[in-house]
Amino acid sequence: MSNEKKKKSGMSQMDMLLGLVCAIFFLDTIPSVATMGWASITWIFIVGALFFFTGSLTCAELGAAYPDDGGFAGWSARAFGPKMGARMGYVYWACNAVWLSSNATLFVQVFQATFGVQLGSVASIILNLLVVYGMLAILLLPSRNSAFLYNYGAVVKIIIGLFLVISGVICFSRGGTQANPFSAKEMVPTLGASIVFIPALVYNFLGFETSAANGRMENPARDVPRAAIKNVLLVAVLYILTSVAVLWAVPIADVDITIGIIQTLQAGLGTAGALGALVMVLGFLYLTVLFIQGMLWVGAPCNTAAIGGETGELPKIFSKRNKNGQPVGVIIISAVMATLMTLASNLIPGDAQTVFWAIFSCTSLLLLIPYIVNFEAYFKLKRTDKETPRPYVFPGPKWLSTLLIRIAELITVATCVLFVWVPGVPVDMVQLLFVVIGVAIVLILGEILLKVAEKQRKNETV
């Protein structure tokens, strides 16, 4: 890309790379993946190749053909009509709104582990809500260039990842072995309890639509596959290195899926002296990343939902903006939804890990729905729209691309199932009901809101 084109795009190659790391490299789910043991490495390659790589090429073709359609919501609308597009836009926003509670729950646990404090249940709920309201309050301020926040998040994630690896190496070198002995046999994927956290691994690879091709690529047919391969390798290497670090430092049975990052750092660097202080600094940086990550992930969907209110696809309250131009209506509704999720999740019996996974499962299952619909939108547009130029087309013969995309779609559907039921593992009825009822309420609410918006549109035309 020439310097002139870089200036026009407003983003350098480094900005794009760091944006990808910030969007797809999730520190928060590394402990969950690590609890699958050494087989997690094999699963990372499988999911990276069959889901992330395939999904990236699919979105690349759609993004190149329809660059101004608004991603999943726009592509779904083009394939299945405006109502489906509005539905996907709603789901994409709603899942992020309730996900804030999951992110804040993690924040509270990391805060306690980093600074060695123990909060009671009421204090934890209050801090959880303060974190949520803090993120949303900042979104009400005048918008600024988000490139700095993405770059900051990516750099801090890489720094923490580096110290995770250092901590793992220190633990390995102390006794000449690791907390979880390695063997080739342990890398063989199996069913049962070992795949309980496969959904966390699939979640780690979500966001590939952010790296979809665009008109700035000079040779999409050549550059898109190269970019997708680089992205897969980059993300896979990051997850493998950090997961191995956790496995070297902490026995699987002791890994806490909410504070596993802090556990690993403390196991390697210790909790006293200068190194103990360093762990606290890294923990603080991790907290800032969680806060910024929550803001960034809910901010864009809030604006999308606001546009839906302005176009009449969602009720008028969604179109309300403050003097800074920020979607105050959507942000207030997001605060209400996150609050209700936080309060409801505290009715679940069990520890913080159980609560975190229940909220995470509910929100992630919702998040996967647009991905499933998008795969179907891809096939529909391939069949029905043969006139739109496609600067980039999924490489290889049609039967192969169809097979790969169907496999990626199957992985997405299977992940949804694994969030509520894992073969060979006893079903936790309370958690299952929480997830199913939570998803059902969000989807039903969406249909109600679409009906309200439709009625408002009809009244305006009378």
pLDDT at residue number 214: 46
CA 294 to chain centre: 10
pLDDT at residue number 4: 41
Query: DSSP label at 252?
Result: G
Task: Name the residue type at position 219.
Answer: N
pLDDT at residue number 427: 83
Q: Burial of 255 by CB count in 10 Å (0-12 exposed, 13-18 middle, 19+ buried)?
A: buried
CA dihedral over 372, 375, 379, 382, signed as positive or negative = positive
Distance CA 233, CA 45 (A): 9
List of residues 6+ apart from 252 with CB closer than 8 A: 34, 35, 37, 179, 180
Task: Name the residue type at position 157.
Answer: K
Q: What's the alpha-carbon Rg for the chain, to the nearest Å?
A: 22
Residue 240 has which token pair?
């493998």
Distance CA 310, CA 316 (A): 7
Query: DSSP label at 15?
Result: H
Q: Which residues of the chain have a pLDDT value below 70?
A: 1-20, 23, 68-70, 144-146, 175-178, 191-194, 210-228, 462
Residue the block writes with tokens 């993004």:
63
Asked if residue 132 is part of any domain, the answer here is yes
Distance CA 311, CA 198 (A): 38
What CATH number has the domain bearing residue 65? Answer: 1.20.1740.10
Asked if residue 162 is part of any domain, the answer here is yes
Asked if residue 301 is part of any domain, the answer here is yes
Number of domains in the chain: 1
Please say whether the beta carbons of 297 and 303 come within 8 A: no
Asked if residue 126 is part of any domain, the answer here is yes
pLDDT at residue number 416: 92
Distance CA 439, CA 400 (A): 34
Asked if residue 1 is part of any domain, the answer here is no
Comparing CA positions, the residue from 300, 103, 284, 136 lying closest to residue 203 is 103
Query: DSSP label at 68?
Result: T
Give the structural domain span for 360: 9-461
pLDDT at residue number 8: 41
Asked if residue 4 is part of any domain, the answer here is no
Q: Burial of 19 by CB count in 10 Å (0-12 exposed, 13-18 middle, 19+ buried)?
A: buried
Asked if residue 377 is part of any domain, the answer here is yes
pLDDT at residue number 220: 57
